[in-house]
């Protein structure tokens, strides 16, 4: 009132006593307002005011309180994400720069807002045969968002085999349009944010303008197997055809899951499978640890060079990988220290693993000349997966602007350096050996 804020001190039978908010700091404690009973609607009346304020009014504090209350109320009443609600209220307020400086940030409010949201969400279903509420099938604009529900299959989609179980696929027409235009797509699954009724949340990512990765297809899978992946691809092919578009990606980047690889080869025979350089290096490093080589990798230079060169094979042309492996990397085994004896044994054991597994699957990790080397962009979306994964009770807007994630300085430097090396190799200025040695310097660099 008039730029001042008050707290209720006590309630009488027919009135309420209010005190200035600064009473807690022993300021302005003399002002007392008697009003009518606030529980009676449309009947707020001030009967008396005693004392005077000993400080200036603070209208900003009043607006801050109102802003926070509006955001909290909407989080209780709506299904839009708390961040969307917060940003929408900021835009509606048209606040000045000074006001924006004192308003709480979303980071300051998010814990409380998500707690409010959780308290007002229905209980997460535990039975995979649950009936999906109609409110969770459309976007905020009222357009279709649920593409496929194995419990309520509609023509022209195929029914789900028993091995698939419950499968929900979400994608708007806009997202399907972007998918059809994407030459490169990537996919990955996460288990950490999966609801109780799903084994994993699986996301397929495409590209806008062939350079901005964006998540397009959201799948909640009860089971993780070949028939699940095959059905997902079949549904997408059918949905895209219904829009009179084509689903013919040139490249599909994923991790090294055999079930997915088999499904892609059968359903999209002309699509080239690409491994993820990050997952390749991760798999190599896990085996380094498993073979007892972690200490040597960190402390023995020749060992570190060899192992990083193996990771850098992903950046060498596929027809040169086997050659440089046997001509450049493996001969370095003769240079390793004699002691401890276990070092030589462990390294040879590791090389046997690499030759028997990865050298037979070169096409699954080679990313030579590929502008997109990893599907790590999906990891970021998994971290923010309040998107529809908040236990199947979040709506997603299809018309939101594309999130063009800003690359970090290290990422840009690595991308530019690798592209420069590839250009030199393609121009005949660099041999395959030199390409391997130079690109190995960029292995295991932290990117963002």
**What does the pLDDT look like over 325-347, one tens digit per residue?**
999 999 998 888 888 888 989 99
Neighbouring residues of 87: CB distance < 8 A, sequence distance ≥ 6? 106
Q: In this predicted model, what pLDDT tens digit does every residue of 32-85 receive, in sequence order?
A: 555 555 555 555 555 556 666 656 666 677 788 889 999 999 998 887 889 989
Domains, the chain:
6-50 (no CATH), 59-119 (no CATH), 134-275 (3.30.420), 282-366+406-442 (no CATH)
Query: What is the per-residue pLDDT for 266?
Result: 94
Residue 36: φ, ψ to 5°? -70, 170
The C-alpha angle 106, 111, 115, rounded to 5 degrees, equals: 125
C-alpha distances (whole Å) from 411 to each of 33, 306, 368, 414, 448 are 61, 23, 17, 5, 6
Query: What is the per-residue pLDDT for 394?
Result: 37
- The total of other beta-carbon atoms located within 10 Å of residue 284's CB is 21
Residues facing residue 36 across a β-bridge: 15
Residue 56: φ, ψ to 5°? -75, 160
Query: What is the per-residue pLDDT for 59?
Result: 66
Which letter does DSSP use for residue 432 in this model? H
Mean pLDDT of the chain: 79
The C-alpha atoms of residue 393 and residue 217 are separated, in whole angstroms, by 17
Q: In this predicted model, what pLDDT tens digit does every residue of 233-261 receive, in sequence order?
A: 999 999 999 999 999 998 888 876 788 88
Strand spans (E) along 118-257: 146-149, 167-170, 184-190, 200-208, 212-221, 251-254
The C-alpha atoms of residue 226 and residue 296 are separated, in whole angstroms, by 39
C-alpha distances (whole Å) from 208 to each of 49, 213, 250, 264, 403 are 62, 6, 15, 22, 10
Query: Nearest CA to 132 among 191, 220, 47?
Result: 220
Which letter does DSSP use for residue 385 in this model? -
Query: What is the per-residue pLDDT for 262?
Result: 92
Query: What is the per-residue pLDDT for 415?
Result: 79
Query: What is the per-residue pLDDT for 235?
Result: 96
Would you tell me the crossing angle of helices 301-312 and 341-357 to the nearest 10 degrees?
Answer: 0
SS3 string, 223-263, reads CCCHHHHHHHHHHHHHHHHHCCCCCCCCEEEECCCHHHHHH
Query: What is the per-residue pLDDT for 326?
Result: 94
Query: What is the per-residue pLDDT for 270?
Result: 92
Kindly give the parts of the chain with pLDDT less than 50: 30-31, 192-194, 377-405, 446-448
Helix, strand, coil % (nearest 5) of the chain?
A: 45, 15, 40
The pair of structure tokens assigned to 297 is 């990798």
Query: What is the per-residue pLDDT for 401?
Result: 39
DSSP state string for 264-324: HHHH-TTSEEEE-HHHHHHHHHHHHHHTT-HHHHHH-HHHHHHHHHHHHGGGS-HHHHHHH
For the chain, the C-alpha Rg in angstroms (whole number) is 30
Predicted TM-score (pTM) of the model is 0.61
pLDDT above 70: percentage of residues in the chain: 73
Place of tokens 């997202």: 175
């Amino acid at each position: 009132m008039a730029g001042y804020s008050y707290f209720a001190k006590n309630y009488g039978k027919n009135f309420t006593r209010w005190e200035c908010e600064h009473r807690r700091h022993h300021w302005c404690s003399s002002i007392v307002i008697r009003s009518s009973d606030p529980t009676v609607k449309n009947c707020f009346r001030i009967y008396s005011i005693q004392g005077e304020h000993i400080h200036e009014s603070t209208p900003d504090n009043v607006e801050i309180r109102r802003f926070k209350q509006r955001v909290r109320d909407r989080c209780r009443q709506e299904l839009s994400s708390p961040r969307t609600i917060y940003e929408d209220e900021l835009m509606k307020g048209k606040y000045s720069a000074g006001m924006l400086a004192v308003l709480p940030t979303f980071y300051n409010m998010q814990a409380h807002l998500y707690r409010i949201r959780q308290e007002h969400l229905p209980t997460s279903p535990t039975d995979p045969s649950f009936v999906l509420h109609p409110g969770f099938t459309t976007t905020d604009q009222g357009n279709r968002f649920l593409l496929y529900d194995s419990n309520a299959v509609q023509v022209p989609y195929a029914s789900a085999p028993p091995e698939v179980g419950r499968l929900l696929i979400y994608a708007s027409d806009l997202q399907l349009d972007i998918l059809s235009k994407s030459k490169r797509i990537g996919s990955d699954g996460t288990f950490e944010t999966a609801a109780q009724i799903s084994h994993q949340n699986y996301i397929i990512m495409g590209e806008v303008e062939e350079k901005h990765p964006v998540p397009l297809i959201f799948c909640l899978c009860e089971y993780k197997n070949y028939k699940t992946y095959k059905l997902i691809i079949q549904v997408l092919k059918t949905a895209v055809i219904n829009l009179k578009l084509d689903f013919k990606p040139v490249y599909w980047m994923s991790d090294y899951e055999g079930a997915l690889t088999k499904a892609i080869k059968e359903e999209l025979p002309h699509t080239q499978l690409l491994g993820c350089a990050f997952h390749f290096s991760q798999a190599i490093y896990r085996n380094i640890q498993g073979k007892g080589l972690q200490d040597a990798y960190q402390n023995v230079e020749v060992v570190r060079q060899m192992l990083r060169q193996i990771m850098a094979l992903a950046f060498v042309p596929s027809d040169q990988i086997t050659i440089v492996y046997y001509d450049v990397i493996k001969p370095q085994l003769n240079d390793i220290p004699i002691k401890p004896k276990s070092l030589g044994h462990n390294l040879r054991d590791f090389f046997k693993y690499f030759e028997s597994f990865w050298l037979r699957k070169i096409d699954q990790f080679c990313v030579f000349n590929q502008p997109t080397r990893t599907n790590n962009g999906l990891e970021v979306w998994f971290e923010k997966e309040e998107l529809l994964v908040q236990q199947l009770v979040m709506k997603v807007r299809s018309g939101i602007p594309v999130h063009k994630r800003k690359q970090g300085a290290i990422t840009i430097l690595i991308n530019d350096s690798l592209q420069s090396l590839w250009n030199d190799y393609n121009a005949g200025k660099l041999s395959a050996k030199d390409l391997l040695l130079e690109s190995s310097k960029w292995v295991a660099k932290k990117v963002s």
